[in-house]
Amino acid sequence: MSRRSRLIATLLAAVGLVAGLAPAASAQPFPGIPVGSEIPAGIEIPAIETAPVWTPVIPGVRTPVVTVPTPAPPRPAPEYSWASIFPTHNEIVGVAQPVMITFDKPIRDRARAEATIGVRTAPEVSGKFYWISDTEVRWRPHHFWPSNTSVTVWVGGRERVFKTGDAVVSTYDNATKTVTVTRNGHVVRTMPASAGRDAYPTYNGIYYNGWRARKVHMDSSTWGLAQDAGGYDVVVDDGVRLSYDGIFIHSAPWSIADQGHRNVSHGCINVSPENARWYYDNTRNGDPFIVKGTTGGHFGAFDGQGDWNY
């Protein structure tokens, strides 16, 4: 057996062992009392949640989030009945991805709602809650996640686990009109690009990858610009959304001659079909995208994907 094979086998065995130590919270026995026995009166059973364990990176191997039981702090009864959690279970996301929690009803007591939520990380990462609306709260680290961070999120008794992948950071620099992509600090791609023209400059700030599709229908009338007033109604290839108000990085074969030289878009980041396909295939949800040096203002914090701009 090769050294790499032995390392993989050892890790997977450890994963199985630790995973076996972490049954569902409802199955946790009280210490010293056999499972199924009646709990003596006056004894309060501590609530059990789980916490992640850091796992090493092995090239070519996707390791799961490993968790172990941990005592839960006192949590108030939620005023909501249900909440959705993003990222999805076992998803691998970029280092700018916030935790997004949406409740089934408006929240009156925000502090109480936050107290029902547990976010645990390995390695340990500090962060903060912030509210997008009366039904959505988010949590993000104070700085980008470290690569290969394991996270568990508890909300109202439900758990989600996810991990961050490599630190894939893209930067559009208006001085050179290029997008430079780094992976863990090393440049892996440089792409000529065209951003928003003078009338529609792309805002400066930190965006991150969101929803994506191989075909994206873009219609300027949805934000008030008619086609006969200089608008557009077009389907673009390999679009990755950077903001809720419609900024994408996408394929733009019509502006190849402009890419790297001048800004001609209505705010999107235009790149060639080859570069758009590469970006689509080599980045993931939550990878940060930074825009700097344009004539535009500052990207708003509450756009929906502007979490890092305040």
Phi, psi (5° rounding) for residue 257?
Answer: -65, -25
Based on the residue annotation, tell me whether 250 is a catalytic residue of this protein.
yes
Task: Give the CA distances from residue 11 to residues 16, 18, 66, in Å, rounded to whole numbers and listed in that order.
Answer: 9, 10, 11
d(CA 287, CA 179): 14
Based on the residue annotation, tell me whether 268 is a catalytic residue of this protein.
yes
d(CA 22, CA 47): 13
| Helices of type H across 116-231 | none
d(CA 27, CA 156): 17
Number of helices followed by number of strands (H, E) in the chain: 3, 19
Question: Is the Cβ–Cβ distance between 191 and 279 less than 8 Å?
Answer: yes
Question: Is the Cβ–Cβ distance between 96 and 168 less than 8 Å?
Answer: no
* Region of 90 on the Ramachandran plot (φ > 0 left; ψ -120 to 50 alpha; else beta): left
d(CA 153, CA 99): 8
Task: Give the CA distances from residue 2 to residues 15, 147, 299, in Å, rounded to whole numbers and listed in that order.
Answer: 20, 27, 50
Q: Which of 89, 186, 268, 298 is catalytic?
A: 268
Q: Which of 142, 217, 250, 298 is catalytic?
A: 250
Closest CA to 170 of 266, 255, 93, 283: 283
d(CA 82, CA 4): 44
Instruction: Report the catalytic residues.
Output: 250, 268
